[in-house]
Structure 1
Amino acid sequence: MVASLLILAVSGGMLWAVGLNYDGLTGGQAQKVHPASYLCVLLVLWQMLRRGNPVANLVSAAEHRPASCLLAAASIAMAAQIILRGASGTAGAIDTFLQAALVMILLLESDARSLRRLETLVHAVMAANAVLGIVEFATGQRFFPFRLDGATFETDTRSAALQGHPLGNATLTACYVLALIAGGGSLKPLTRLVMIAVQLVALVTFGGRSAIVVTLVLGGAFGLAQLLRAIARGRIPLLAAAGAACALPLVATTVAGLAYGGFFDALLGRFASDGGSANARVAMFDLFSRLPLRDLILGPDPSLVDSLRRITGLEWGIENPIIRVVLYQGALMALLLTTAVTLFLVEVGRRCRAGIAMPMIAFVVLINTFESLGGKTTLLAKFVIVLVALYRPFPETRIARAS
């Protein structure tokens, strides 16, 4: 629970507030690794010692979580490659991939009671994150913004809330909303509707255009499919119909009031002018023609890639995780990590009950719209915790009997 709380609620901006330069370039290397990663490693080691047979523990983990073990091995291989090449970014391999793999291995030990507590924690953190984002939008004060060596990006006025990075925040919020819409979790209907509404308002303040579009498209399609199914069955609850009839005018009035008050102005401005984001997604492909084929396969010189990025105007980063890994670590490492992450997500999905299609599709789509897993982030571990908490996995014994 403590590790999950650290992953879900502690961002780089919050770590800066307590004296740790997590996102910056200066400071000790130990500060660059998220505290939750240290805790996950300690918990796995304690689990192995408690069983008294580390080898048997590793065999059990490989048997029940093979893709998690593969992702852990791939992250260690990436960290080793970075160290051997004398480059920077080792912490990214640990926080982005190893942390998520260890979280899934640790969840193997969770019983139904622990998962219920985990769900309560997820709802509490996401509610606090949404409320804080709305407060930041209303007051213009960001409490834990993304900082690079203490400096904030003054031109970025999007809410940061507890997650730090606005796009990562929007991605997690969109997946959480779609999970609630699809029936994930055990919230009561009225509480679920209120939570969805609050999260949708917060999603606008985070400014994630792709996240908003994906949420509206998938959520709208799901609602329409449910309506058509109810009509086909000829069973439309009278109370639900009356509630919808009352809610639609109220929702329309609320949206109109927010629009009149300027709530959507910043978001509409991002749709009208994206600050060069679309051009950056095109320009990043030009970097391939400037690098030798051998370097693209095995990994170019990071300083050369940084120089080429500045020349081509890509100071904000490479807007795709796979492209970024290819440019910095080489195509072979990108292939290994892409395969490991794909199998890992499949494994996570198989350990959950039915209904995860929408949040899973949203996550896969959205992480490919910005740097996401190509840099240092805890987003993958956050998604795993949210998905497992809201879609309780079947007990391992039941899976074993079924097989």
Structure 2
Amino acid sequence: MRTAGPGAAAGLRAAPVWARLGGLSRIGTLAAVLVLFCVSGGMLWLVGYNYDGLAGSAATKIHPSTYMIVLVFCWSLIASGDPVSRGIHLASARPATLLMLVVTIAVIVVTLLRGGAGIGGLVDTYVAACLLVFLLADADDETMATLTTLLHVVMTLNALLALAEFVTQIRLFPYRFDGIAFETDTRSAALHGHPLANAMITACYLMALISGARPLSPSVRGTLIALQSAALVVFGGRTALLASLALGLCYGIVMLFASLRRGRVSLVGAAIGCLMAALLPVAIGGLAVLGFFDDLAARFISDGGSANARKEMLDLLGMFSLGDLVFGPDNELVDTLRRVNGLEWGIENPFIRMILYQGAIVTALVTVAFGLFMYELARLGRAGGVWLPMVVWIILLNGSESIATKTTLPAKFAIVVLCLYRPERQGRTNTLSPASSARAPRSWPGRAAG
């Protein structure tokens, strides 16, 4: 076998600067993700930033993390020294993300021409997620490892805060609409604000812990799974809880039988499993005595009119002509009919809401682009279990307005997938031989000099 000599080493060249994420861009990305996961609308209200509401400046309807992501992305283009080459490189590496971004910009233009509202929602929901995926396309292993640790720490703090709020019945940062907190809603708000937003991201993170997060030891993974499962109960999301329970158990049973067939179950692992099986009924009984499941039972008994709202939103479609539904009815008329029919809290399906406010054409474009964006995101996570959080994510998206209105959940979900299902990035070294540089993909996750 022939080995490369010193001359071959001298012929290697470093990856171009535009194909790397610089030091300042890495720090900015980490800071933006920290703000994304830790700063809710209730927390912003305390500093006079009315994020969740209609009153106030239009600039406050965009989350601070989105501003940070946009600034960091623009800086990464400038710092590369060749914004055109970096742009082409990112477009070729993440084509579905580019399509989602282009469609979003087109929808923003159409909304402005129609004089409609909700521009901030489009920016927070889609633009932030797309630019975040672009930024992480060239992140090296050290950056991704730091980001993964940050995700685990933040989600652990979120779960602990949720449990503390459940025990004390004191919500530190409750969800507020125009500054008004809903005192009758006793569910935990934690760091993500709205209980259902907490339930969605916690359920997806929980599924990713079950089928992903390979570097974690079994003991740490088991502890995090137990903690997130407990937090999911106090958030009160019925669909999130049922979907996670059903799919998580199915996945666990399949993996257990697969391990038994391979004969790779260690004696210590079997002993721990038997011990947990014995303690589980005792733990459930103790939690029931403490009233841990009372709020959840109340949510299933009284849904606050959620089931009726789903029936009313279907009836709402029949109040408009086919032309209105294709091109989009008058938004003020939709708002009036929505309130008259008892849908003050919103239309609990993103696609029906989008048809009513944007029209079927825009809805179809966004749906196709978002579907391809999710498919690309799933392919970036090479681990086989990435389908588990994806299925839960899709189920939960259809249970509320979700991506049809303002939310930071797509960006958070992208972080969960990219961190816990670490993508196989091509060209893990910072050098390429001259002979291979012409045919190698332009994606080198390395460090910039500055």
The TM-score bracket by the shorter chain reads over 0.9
Residue in 2 aligned with 1:383?
Answer: 413
Residue in 2 aligned with 1:273?
Answer: 302
Residue in 1 aligned with 2:387?
Answer: 357
Q: 2:358 aligns with which of 321, 329, 337?
A: 329
1:45-194 matched pairs, under 5 angstroms: 45-194=74-223
Deviation at 1:61, TM superposition (A): 1.8
| Ranges in structure 1 where 5+ consecutive residues have no aligned partner | none
Please tell me whether residue 219 in structure 1 is matched to residue 237 in structure 2: no
Deviation at 1:57, TM superposition (A): 2.5
Residue in 2 aligned with 1:199?
Answer: 228
Task: Please tell me the residue identity of whatever aligns with 1:389.
Answer: C
CA contact (8 A) 2:204 2:393 kept: yes
Task: Specify the SS of the correspondent of 2:196.
Answer: helix
CA contact (8 A) 1:137 1:159 kept: yes
Residue in 1 aligned with 2:49?
Answer: 20
Q: 1:393 aligns with which of 417, 423, 434?
A: 423
Deviation at 1:402, TM superposition (A): 9.1
Distance 1:51 1:402 in 2: 18
Identify, as 1 or 2, the structure richer in helix: 1
RMSD (Å), alpha carbons: 1.6
Distance 1:235 1:26 in 2: 60
Deviation at 1:299, TM superposition (A): 1.4
Task: Specify the SS of the correspondent of 1:396.
Answer: coil
Q: 1:231 aligns with which of 255, 260, 270?
A: 260
Distance 2:405 2:319 in 1: 22
Q: Which shows bigger deviation, 104-113 or 180-189?
A: 180-189
1:301-312 matched pairs, under 5 angstroms: 301-312=330-341
Residue in 1 aligned with 2:376?
Answer: 347
Distance 1:48 1:175 in 2: 31
Task: Please tell me the residue identity of whatever aligns with 1:210.
Answer: T
Distance 1:54 1:201 in 2: 46
Percent identity over the alignment is 49
Q: Decide whether aligned partners of structure 1 residues 300 and 185 sit closer, same or farther in structure 2, where only a CA change above 3 A counts.
A: farther
Task: Specify the SS of the correspondent of 1:290.
Answer: coil
CA contact (8 A) 1:8 1:163 kept: yes
Deviation at 1:319, TM superposition (A): 0.5
TM-score, L = length of structure 2: 0.87
Please tell me whether residue 260 in structure 1 is matched to residue 294 in structure 2: no
Task: Specify the SS of the correspondent of 1:281.
Answer: helix
Residue in 2 aligned with 1:373?
Answer: 403
| Ranges in structure 2 where 5+ consecutive residues have no aligned partner | 1-29, 429-438, 443-450
Please tell me whether residue 11 in structure 1 is matched to residue 40 in structure 2: yes
CA contact (8 A) 2:201 2:413 kept: yes
Q: Which shows bigger deviation, 352-361 or 129-138?
A: 352-361
Instruction: Point out 4+ residue stretches in structure 1 off by more than 4 angstroms.
Output: 400-403
Q: Any idea what the Cα deviations from partners look like across 1:72-114, whole Å, max 9, x if unmatched?
A: 1121122222211112100000000111000000101200000
CA contact (8 A) 2:212 2:386 kept: no
CA contact (8 A) 1:163 1:169 kept: yes
TM-score, L = length of structure 1: 0.97
Aligned length: 403
Task: Specify the SS of the correspondent of 1:88.
Answer: coil
CA contact (8 A) 2:32 2:68 kept: yes
CA contact (8 A) 2:327 2:361 kept: yes
Task: Please tell me the residue identity of whatever aligns with 2:222.
Answer: L
Task: Please tell me the residue identity of whatever aligns with 2:92.
Answer: E
Deviation at 1:401, TM superposition (A): 5.5
Distance 2:54 2:262 in 1: 60
Q: Which shows bigger deviation, 76-85 or 232-241?
A: 232-241
Distance 1:333 1:265 in 2: 43
Deviation at 1:234, TM superposition (A): 3.8
CA contact (8 A) 1:119 1:185 kept: no
Q: 1:244 aligns with which of 273, 280, 286?
A: 273
1:37-52 matched pairs, under 5 angstroms: 37-52=66-81
